Amino acid sequence: MATFIMMGTYSPEAIKEISSERTAQATKIIEEAKGKLMSIYATMGDFDLLAVVEFPGIAEAIKASVNLNRALEIAFSTVPALGVEEFDKVAAG
């Protein structure tokens, strides 16, 4: 499984619907795309949400990102991430 960081921005409509039920719906959408939600945070600044998610690959990450936007009106920027120890090995050569 590969790790991805998903940074989400609420639409005005999505802000009106914030609830624990929608968080559960988001988790289900991620799982339907063969992903696993590792952690999620509400943030302040350029993004409203930050999630750490594992997916088998990029196709599944894209599927989840698109389906979250469709269902919840939350736009996600989704990027791959490596742990620092693995990054050090890759970057070393």
Q: Which bin fits 73, alpha (ψ -120 to 50), beta or left (φ > 0)? A: left
Residue 37: name the closest of 73, 1, 91, 9 by CA. Answer: 1
What is the arithmetic mean of pLDDT over 4-32? 95
pLDDT in tens, 19-40: 999 999 999 999 999 999 999 9
What is the arithmetic mean of pLDDT over 45-67? 96
2-92: CATH superfamily: BMC (bacterial microcompartment) domain (3.30.70.1710)
Q: Which helix (H) or strand (E) holds 14?
A: helix 12-16
Location of structure tokens 């088998």: 56
Asked if residue 48 has pLDDT above 80, the reply is yes
Indicate the domain borders of the chain. 2-92
Asked if residue 92 has pLDDT above 80, the reply is yes
Please provide the DSSP assignment of 71-91 as one string.
Answer: HH-EEEEEEEE--HHHHHHHH
pLDDT in tens, 68-85: 999 999 999 999 999 999
Confidence bin at 93 (pLDDT 50/70/90): confident
